Amino acid sequence: MESDTTSFRESAYPAHPQTFDPARLPDFLPLESYGVIGDSRTAVLVGAHGSVDWACLPDFDSPSVFGALLDPSAGRFAIRPLERFTAWQRYERGTNVLVTEMTTASGTIRLRDFMPYIPNRVVPTAEIYRRIECIRGRVDLEVVFEPRFNYGLVTPVLDASHYGVRAYDEQGEAVVLASEIPMRLEDGRAVGRTTIEAGQDTYLVADWGAAGIHPVASYQCDRRLWQVRTFWRNWVDQLTYHGRYRDAVERSLLMLKLLIFEPTGAIVAAPTMSLPEWPGGGRNWDYRYSWVRDSAFILRALFQAQYMEEGTKYFDWLLGQALEGGPLQVMYGIRGERHLPERTLPLRGYRDSRPVRIGNGAVHQFQLDIYGSLLDAALRYDRQGGLLTITEWEKLSLLADEVRLRWREPDAGIWEARNEPQHYTYSKVWAWVGLTRAVQLARHLGADAPVEVWEQEAEAIREEVLEKAWNPALNAFTQYYGGDVLDSSVLVMPSVGFLPADDRRFQSTLHACIEQLQAGRYPLLYRYLNDDGVGGPEGAFLLPSFWMVEAIALSGNLRVARATLATLMGMMSPLGLYAEEIHPEDESLLGNFPQGFSHLGLVNAIFRLEELKRLQEGW
């Protein structure tokens, strides 16, 4: 049955209450029990139990200050009732202001968490605002301010005053808590207890980098709340799409906006690190960087949603990295860093999943698909009215020539395998994309370029893929040339124009992937089932399921595509957020969270359905 706007609102934003005993709080919450707030430089995770459990301050890639998400001893900033309570979360509509309501036997309090969003802010500061309001009865509550610097490895010195608490270390790092609630110091943390009655409210502000402790009133909290509400609602009002999936698109775009590091325009894959792709497993990676391969998907989503400023700034930043010289990299740091050394931390890990990694060793892998992603993004940028300079075109032309010269080499593939390079089908498809997009750009720009040579090479790639990636025994395209294993990444073929969706070979591949890579209930898929040099199980990867939705729709079956999409939307968190993966058995969220790739897949699938619907209706 096709879902409509009303039913989606009910499924995506249910009350979903959870009950907590403050005397026996769990070491780790499910990821779906977290909301996210942010300020254009970093993003913070707030649990339904009232605790800020992840905050890298002041930037995405800074060491965590509150890191209980990865280790209960790595720091937190909690506000909670002193007796058993039931909690649920929601966002203020059209904003990233997070609301958590907590109900006890004696009353109900409402937490309103946000970070001021100040466009073009230069000074690297970060402030977390937490408004406590009692809306019924009276509630005895506790505040726990327990920062731990450098990913939980450093316990700071704490000083208390009439206005709050300051935590600092010998390196000059500091975070201040401004509070009207009296705080006492105990065992490396500050604790405050108070009773709040109906009609009363108060603010607490955690201020990174402050040199002194100031009255909470000096932060002009209500004004900040008004400003941030106004900013988010004005921003989301730019969205011109008003179809049946408006709520899902709106929440996904609001989340994607939180992943933008505004000083440069870089977009991180996720604001978290080392959240496992399987509970207790070792597939734990740092995603606080910007991947080149995401560019084609990001530009497609932002431009279709008419967010031209964000899309243009991101593309300009990404192209700037390419212009700096040296080979195009798989990923970059949010300021353009090229060296992101991978190391492990002596932390317990989320749900005891180790190792806990920071940095990312895949940064220097050879991945052929990134060239096609950037060239596809450049074509989208050009079609949306962006003006490519001659210098930029010269660099793009060089990237196209690099594809022409290197497409016959094996690579590490989209999934960044850590075993021997292979001739991955996905990589070759994107090499074809790169050359075809370069041809289109050259012709549109009237540039002097070897378009005939690029066209010949693109056709050679296509012929080779159709021959060497096809396995007649499996009746499907395989993960790599001559292989006998499937990979859900090949489902991207029709959406990039490599093969029409109704092609017999693609259709049989689609059905083979659904049957053999199914992870739990339909439409969840594993990426693949063979060894990739990392080892250990993983969950169902969400992005290929959205590629499947597009493929089904492009095959001409909009009804099935919509039903498939509705099932995937039912797997969101109660706040409408996705992680990277889903557990195939209990359908809990796995991997870094919230995950940009998953939300990009959702937005692009929705816009594909809307486009095909218009064509079907003759618009």
DSSP state of 488: G
Domain edges within the chain = 16-232, 238-616
The predicted model scores a pTM of 0.95
In this structure, the dihedral spanned by the alpha carbons of residues 206, 208, 210 and 212, taken in order and rounded to 10 degrees, is: 40
For residues 418-442, give the mean pLDDT. Answer: 97
Q: How high is the pLDDT of residue 619? A: 66
The Cα–Cα gap between 228 and 258 comes to: 13
CA distances to 26, 225, 260, 427, 548 from 119, rounded to whole Å, are 37, 15, 12, 37, 37
Task: Give pLDDT tens digits for 319-378.
Answer: 999 888 789 999 999 999 999 999 999 999 999 999 999 999 999 999 999 999 999 999
pLDDT of the residue at 590: 98
pLDDT per residue as tens digits for the range 69-121? 999 999 999 999 999 999 999 999 999 999 999 999 999 999 999 999 887 77
Using one digit for the tens of pLDDT, what is the confidence trace for 496-514?
Answer: 999 999 999 999 999 999 9
- pLDDT score of 2: 33
| pLDDT, tens only, 160-194 | 999 999 999 999 999 999 999 999 999 999 999 99
User: How far is the C-alpha of 431 from the C-alpha of 408, rounded, in Å?
Assistant: 10
- In the structure, what pLDDT confidence band is assigned to residue 538 with cuts at 50, 70 and 90? very high
Q: Are 83 and 105 in contact (CB under 8 A)?
A: yes
Band the pLDDT of 6: cuts 50, 70, 90: very low
- Asked, colleague to colleague, whether 16-232 and 238-616 share their fold, the answer is no
* 205 SS3 class: strand
Summarised one tens digit per residue, pLDDT across range 275-330 is 999 999 999 999 999 999 998 899 999 999 999 999 999 999 999 998 887 899 99
Distance of CA 543 to the CA centre of its chain: 12
Which CATH number fits the domain 238-616, given the four candidates 1.50.10.10, 2.60.120.10, 2.60.15.10, 1.10.274.10? 1.50.10.10
Write out the two tokens for 216.
């909470």
Q: Give CA angle at 279 (278, 283), nearest 5°.
A: 45
pLDDT above 70 for 61? yes
Identify the three-state secondary structure at position 312: helix
> How far is Cα 525 from Cα 491, in angstroms, rounded to an integer?
11
- Alpha carbons 379 and 436: distance in angstroms, whole number: 10
228-254 mean pLDDT? 96
Integer angstrom CA distances of residue 571 from 33, 520, 550? 13, 12, 18
> 194 in helix, strand or coil?
strand
pLDDT at position 157 over 60: yes
Can you give the pLDDT at residue 123?
76
Here the tokens at position 369 are 């698909």
Q: Among 218, 207, 257, 213, which Cα is nearest to 235's? A: 257
pLDDT greater than 90 at residue 546: yes
Residue 90 has a pLDDT of 97
**What residue type is assigned to position 122 of the chain?**
V
Encoded tokens for 556: 């001409």
**What is the predicted pLDDT for the residue at 182?**
97
How many Cα neighbours within 13 Å face the side chain of 517? Answer: 32
414-431 average pLDDT score: 96
DSSP state of 71: -
The Cα 603–Cα 542 span in angstroms is 13
What pLDDT score was predicted for residue 13? 46
Q: Spelled out in words, what is the top-level CATH class assigned to the domain 16-232?
A: mainly beta
Whole-Å CA distances, 522 to 20, 130, 502, 540, 585 = 33, 40, 21, 11, 12
Percent of the chain with pLDDT over 70: 97
Across the range 528-544, mean pLDDT stands at: 95
pLDDT higher than 50, residue 4: no
Model confidence band, residue 15 (pLDDT cutoffs 50, 70, 90):
low
**Res 8 pLDDT > 80:** no
Strand partners, 83: none
